[in-house]
Copies of this chain bind each other. A is one copy, B any other.
Amino acid sequence: MTAMEAAVEAWREALGRDKVGDSDAIRQSFARTALPESRIPRCVLRPTSQGDVQAIVAIAQAHAHPLYPVSGGKNWGYGSACAPEEDAAVVDLSGMNRILEIDGEMGYAVIEPGVTQQQLYEAVKEAAPDFWVDVTGAGPDATIVGNAMERGFGHTPYADHVRSTCGMTVVLPDGRILETGFGHFPKSKARHLYPYGVGPMLDGLFSQSNLGIVTRIGVWLCPRPEAFSFFYIKVPDESRLCDTVEALRPLRMKGLLNSAVHIGNDLRVFTSLDTYPWEATGGETPLPPAIRTAMREDAKLGAWNVTGSLTGTRAQVREARRRMKKTCRHLGDVIFVDDRKLALGKGVAGLLDRFGLGKALVKNLSALVPNYGLLQGIPTRMPLQSLAWRLRKPLTEALVDPLESNVGLIWLAPVLPLRGADAEAIVQLATPLFHAHGFDLPVTLTMLNERAMVAVFNISFDKTVEEEAVRAAACYEAVTTTLLEHGYVPYRSSLMGMGHLVTPGDTFWEVARDIKATLDPARILAPGRYIP
């Protein structure tokens, strides 16, 4: 029996046979990713309790067997459930999916790592109707904890998931249980209400790293506002991205805008509506300008399309609308939609008539409407459709698990100042590189705070077209390198990008590595993930 077989046997004994999978089918299933490359794990472990996780870690230590914990594995364009190195034992935490507490007065939930967006959404609707869960566009099955640990962001005023998590329980690589914040004080009253605790703050160590397995977390829920208005700004002129950002920043700085605001280009909306027009283009990539313009006009889209929400009391929303209209109308149409209007208009098409925008906008709005729900914390599968953009054979039914098809996707998410010139610069840097590799640049810019945005670039490809996958990887390399050279660093990374972040001799990574060596000297936990 090899050391690896011995470890698998030990896990079987400790956890029970049903919690350990090492059939080829299971291993292949956890190797799936939308990235060009993948690694096959040795086995998949399915703990259902913190005790299971401790047992898993103890055996990994005894057999020096690397582990790779995932919550739901829905980390689509960054690597899904796939480990960065071969032969890991994937720790699939999706079976630890208890909602331990929902406090409908103070507005928080305490959850295990397997809890999905849909699950928490439904539970909160029931138990804390005055609050929203902030969710991302990663779909109903994506987990809350997985996203929080990658420092992701959603759409409501609680979009920043670092700021809205409070109090973690972590199984350390040696099996000890760490409670962050005030959690390690017996009977602490503010464990999930005040995030910093007393003494050093350790929470930051466990996001984007490989230092512990989070088994429990407090999540703040967004107070449901008295009034809500969706807004859509259609900016027809491609050259006005800079102006658009400059117009929006003061609104954000003044607190008139407090949801996450998304600025998407036409290409980004196209990817949500349909697959690439292989026929019309005769297979040419990127999209020829004339076809792109025709598609944009056909869908009555802007070159840039801004969506977000205004929330507050009725009077506050009224005021924010007034100010937004005043500040942004020089950019293009500014449209506001609230629940009342949606109801009056009897659905999307009716609504468009009311606004005199014509039937052609139905397509457009149907791409924007998922955002309407996301802005109120309602999970949706719809944005996942964009993953299918480059498939040669269009899907015959809606995409539920993107990995079941052949979608290829790499996400690239550089942070930039919330400044028009930087938005312009980053698009100018990336576009020629995307084109040179035969790709379009679908991009969304999201305002994360009053001072910074994240750009999300999609490199979409078809995994069945081998040379396209190769080009996708080359494009990723080229864009990542160029952006880093210009000081645009990603806020999170795909498995392919982690190496780019580390420069030898950089004290930051040396310290991270020192801490890794202290907490996990045998390197059993997610080797290769962020910390080198």
Q: Which residues of A contact B (CB under 8 A)?
A: 105-108, 151, 157, 162-163, 172, 176-180, 182, 184-190, 193-194, 196-209, 211, 220, 223, 225-226, 253-256, 258, 311-313, 315-316, 318-319, 323, 415-419, 422, 448-452, 484-493, 501, 506-512, 514-515, 517-519, 530-531
Contacts and interface: CB of A to CB of B under 8 A. Distances in A.
Rank and list the top 3 A-B pairs by shortest CB-CB distance, nearest first: A201-B204, A187-B487, A194-B452
Of A201, A256, A490, most B-chain CB atoms within 10 Å: A201
Contact of A194 (B163, B225, B449): B449
Of A256, A319, A422, A448, most B-chain CB atoms within 10 Å: A319
Given A186-B487, A193-B452, 19 more contacts: A162-B201, A176-B510, A184-B508, A189-B486, A189-B488, A190-B488, A194-B448, A197-B508, A199-B208, A201-B205, A202-B508, A202-B511, A223-B253, A256-B313, A313-B319, A315-B316, A316-B319, A515-B518, A517-B518
Nearest to A201: B204
7 contacts: A190-B415, A190-B417, A196-B491, A198-B208, A200-B515, A315-B318, A518-B518
A531 B198 CA distance: 10
A512 B449 CA distance: 30
A254 B417 CA distance: 28
A323 B319 contact: no
A489 B198 contact: yes
A217 to B, nearest CB: 15
**Prevailing SS type, chain A contact patch:** loop
B254 A255 contact: no
Contacts of A199: 208-209, 501, 508-509, 512, 530-531
A313 B254 contact: yes
A448 B508 CA distance: 31
Given A107-B253, A511-B178, A151 B196 contact: yes
A220 B449 CA distance: 11
A193 B451 contact: yes
A193 B197 CA distance: 25
Nearest to A166: B451
Given A184-B508, A508-B184, A451 B209 contact: no
